[in-house]
């Protein structure tokens, strides 16, 4: 009798339990589908008014480096498969990781925390391109690492189409790209891999070949400095493509920038496109600049310089030319002045933990850091991530004005 009663209860409860499970499963399916559609198609406002109050009117470049091993680094070498060996200093044997834990803190405001989804929403359906030399390539790789972790496998890709690299976020229809052009204008060093600074030849009034690849890009970030500074004179053409002359670098740099500004003014629509120009990335080739009576370089440096610093590797003449040319532009090009904040970071370079001519340094080369340490390029994660945090803040601010005020 008891068994019959239990059986009847089971018969009554089973359909109820089954229906509940089916409803839960259906609810989960709907929720998962909603989340998926929300990831692919969400068009929320990427910047709220309170965020705008943080970034509007702030001088992002005036501040200090703050030790922060809680929020920084924003990614790791292991979490980003797109990094090249030249920048993976820890993997290449660097014993310390302190250089990864410094956060830039502006004096009068907070940098908004980097939000990859918001950036991808701002860039939805658009192309963002970094143009310049290997320093700019490092910033490109930093940006790819900052966004790639939020994109599912199979929905992201990196293609090499020399002289370009193209990272795609498929669900947002976003391209983050890099274009090799060390002088911005055309030169004999425009091949992506077969180039040398030793025999540089710049065509100071030629830019059309590069310009075809930049045309129509929604966000352009330009940079050009290190290749100009190899020697105080540079072989170049201007006017006649067959007449090569020796130019003082500062004169040649101004002529090249004027060619670039002519292209910008005739090809950029300021209503639909954004243009940024990065200031020079500093070098730390001589330790006597920050430590009296020393004879080294950036090798074995683990901490930033205390207080303001301006090294001899950063040309005030070039900085002045750049500011003068940008101020004369008829359309708005935002100047991202990362030089001073990067000057302090003598600890952030690849040193002996990078590549030379496409190969990691040998043990013998590593034993001679005075000759072989690379005090020009930066480890990743590292200083270029901060450049991109500042770029992100500018994109947020620009979006606010476009979204709310137009």
The residues carrying an active-site annotation are 134, 374, 377
> CB under 8 Å to 50, separation ≥6 — which residues?
none
Distance CA 13, CA 10 (A): 5
**Structural contact between residues 143 and 114, judged by C-beta atoms closer than 8 angstroms:** no
Distance CA 347, CA 355 (A): 17
**Structural contact between residues 330 and 268, judged by C-beta atoms closer than 8 angstroms:** no
In the block, tokens 């007449």 appear at 243
Alpha helices in 230-375 (DSSP H): 249-267, 316-327, 339-343, 363-366, 369-372
In this structure, what token pair is assigned to residue 55? 């970034």
* First-to-final CA distance of the chain: 78
Compute φ and ψ for 41, nearest 5 degrees. Answer: -125, 0
**Structural contact between residues 332 and 276, judged by C-beta atoms closer than 8 angstroms:** no
């Amino acid at each position: 009798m008891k068994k019959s009663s239990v059986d009847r209860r089971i018969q009554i409860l089973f359909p109820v339990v089954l229906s509940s499970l089916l409803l839960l499963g259906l609810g989960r399916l709907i929720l998962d589908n909603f989340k998926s559609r929300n990831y692919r198609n969400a068009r929320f406002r990427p910047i709220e008014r309170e965020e705008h109050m943080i970034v509007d009117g702030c001088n992002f470049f005036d501040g200090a480096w703050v030790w922060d091993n809680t929020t920084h680094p924003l990614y790791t070498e292991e979490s980003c498969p797109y990094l090249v060996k030249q920048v993976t200093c820890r993997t290449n044997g660097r014993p310390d990781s302190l250089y990864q834990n410094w956060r830039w803190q502006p004096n009068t405001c907070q940098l908004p925390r980097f939000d990859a989804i918001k950036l991808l929403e701002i860039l939805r359906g658009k192309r963002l391109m970094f143009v310049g030399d290997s320093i700019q390539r490092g910033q490109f790789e930093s940006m790819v690492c900052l966004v790639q972790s939020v994109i599912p496998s199979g929905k992201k890709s990196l293609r090499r189409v020399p002289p370009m690299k193209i990272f795609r976020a498929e669900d947002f229809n976003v391209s983050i790209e890099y274009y090799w052009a060390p002088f911005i204008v055309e030169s004999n060093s425009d091949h992506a891999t077969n180039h040398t600074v030793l025999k540089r030849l710049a065509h100071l009034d030629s830019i059309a070949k590069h310009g075809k690849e930049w045309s129509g890009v929604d966000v352009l970030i330009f940079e050009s400095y290190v290749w100009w500074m190899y020697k105080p004179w540079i072989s170049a053409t201007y006017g006649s493509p067959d007449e090569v002359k020796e130019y003082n670098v500062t004169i040649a740099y101004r002529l090249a920038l004027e060619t670039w500004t002519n292209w910008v003014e005739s090809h950029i629509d300021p209503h639909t496109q954004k243009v940024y120009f990065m200031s020079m990335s500093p070098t730390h080739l001589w330790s006597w600049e920050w430590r009296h009576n020393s004879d080294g370089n950036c090798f074995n440096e683990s901490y930033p310089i205390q207080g303001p610093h301006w090294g001899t590797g950063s040309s005030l003449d070039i900085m002045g030319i750049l500011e003068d040319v940008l101020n004369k532009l008829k359309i708005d090009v935002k100047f991202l002045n990362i030089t001073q904040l990067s000057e302090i970071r003598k600890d952030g370079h690849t040193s002996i933990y990078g590549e030379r001519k496409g190969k990691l340094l040998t043990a013998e080369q590593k034993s001679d850091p005075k000759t072989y340490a690379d005090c020009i390029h930066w480890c990743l994660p590292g200083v270029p991530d901060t450049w991109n945090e500042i770029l992100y803040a500018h994109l947020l601010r620009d979006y606010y004005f476009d979204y709310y005020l137009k």
